[in-house]
Amino acid sequence: MAFDSEWKELVSSARDQQSAGTRINTAAPGGEGSHAHRDLVVTQDDLGAVGHEAFILHGLLHKHADIAGAGSDKNGSGSTAQAAQELSSHHMAMGGELLTALSVWTSQVKTVLQMCAHISNHLDYSKKSYRENDVQIEASFRRRDGSAVPVSEIAKLVR
């Protein structure tokens, strides 16, 4: 079979398959738990609970995952680093490998600690920011005398 005829056959086959494909632009109406509008809803309590758990995890990791500082001697070297130095002093390759493992472990623990702190801080910031936004939105729907703007005027703004 020549290239041109084989190419035309492949293009035709691809077109046939494409027309039978499925394309989803929206969720199907009706069905279990369907709503006209689906919005992400997060309460202050949800944010606070996640932030609190991240804070607790940060504290526990900081306290229990520090193998570099565990069993520190007067020079500040932890027991794992001391073992690596001792093995290296006896010309054992395992000493260098243990030091490498300690370095990688410490780096990974620091990364997880940073992420826990970031999550906790970000959720605290989000709670505060959303609270401030709510106050600003509420204030924007009040008249100068402090009375609420009628729903009919708010409906005009939404359209």
Q: Where are the domains of the chain?
A: 44-73+102-138
Is the pLDDT reported for residue 22 higher than 90?
Answer: no
**């609190």: which residue's tokens?**
52
Amino acid letter for position 14 = A
pLDDT tens by residue, 41-90: 777 777 778 888 988 999 998 888 877 677 777 776 788 888 999 999 99
Count CB neighbours of 98 within 10 A: 19
Report how far residue 51's alpha carbon sits from residue 46's, in angstroms, rounded to the nearest whole number: 9
pLDDT tens by residue, 117-144: 898 888 878 778 888 888 888 888 788 8
Report how far residue 127's alpha carbon sits from residue 44's, in angstroms, rounded to the nearest whole number: 6
Report how far residue 154's alpha carbon sits from residue 145's, in angstroms, rounded to the nearest whole number: 17
